[in-house]
Amino acid sequence: MTGYIAELEFIVRDYECDLQGVVNNANYLHYLEHARHELLISRGISFSLLHEEGTDLIVTKAEIEYKFPLRSRDRFMVRTAVRKEGLIRLAFIQDIFRIPDEKLIVKAKVTGIATREGKPVRFDSIFTLLGLT
């Protein structure tokens, strides 16, 4: 995938692994979410400020393909690209790679929308901050 606009490095912690010694599949969603939050924060998008103003960003769909497992103490990188889908959807295309060999671990697409009073609204200011017009 090309077009990544952010990357964030992690290390697997022991408690994230299951009895088989690999990262529990639910933890990959946490890694992806943290990388998305850091990207938005780096672009000046504050979840708490948006919420105070009456707008909430929510995930509406998460697609994830597990390609290869991570194990305790593995270092890895989450790389993120974003694209606009229609007038109100924002898709985060996220891939996880093991460091240092760049082995593809996970491919994911997480789609979200902004809501105001529970109803979808346009993302225009957020699209602009992410460089999507």
- What average pLDDT does this structure show over 33-57? 92
CATH architecture of 6-129: Roll (3.10)
Cα 72 to its chain centre, rounded Å, is 21
**Does residue 1 register a pLDDT over 60?**
no
Q: Could you state, in order of their start, the residue ranges of all structural domains in the chain? A: 6-129
Highest-scoring range by mean pLDDT, 31-40, 42-51, 114-123:
31-40
CA angle 65, 66, 67 (to 5 degrees): 110
Residues identified as active-site: 18
What digits encode the pLDDT tens for the residues 81-129? 999 999 899 999 999 999 999 999 999 999 999 999 889 998 888 888 8
Residue 60 burial (CB count, 10 A) = 13
Instruction: Report yes or no on whether pTM surpasses 0.85.
Output: yes
Give the start-end residues of each E strand in the chain. 6-11, 55-66, 75-85, 89-99, 104-116, 119-121
What digits encode the pLDDT tens for the residues 4-16? 999 999 999 999 9
Characterise 83 by phi-psi region: left (phi > 0), alpha (psi -120 to 50), beta (else): beta
What digits encode the pLDDT tens for the residues 24-35? 999 999 999 999
Radius of gyration in angstroms for the set of CA atoms belonging to the chain, rounded to a whole number: 16
Length of the chain: 133
- Whether 97 and 79 have beta carbons less than 8 Å apart is answered as yes
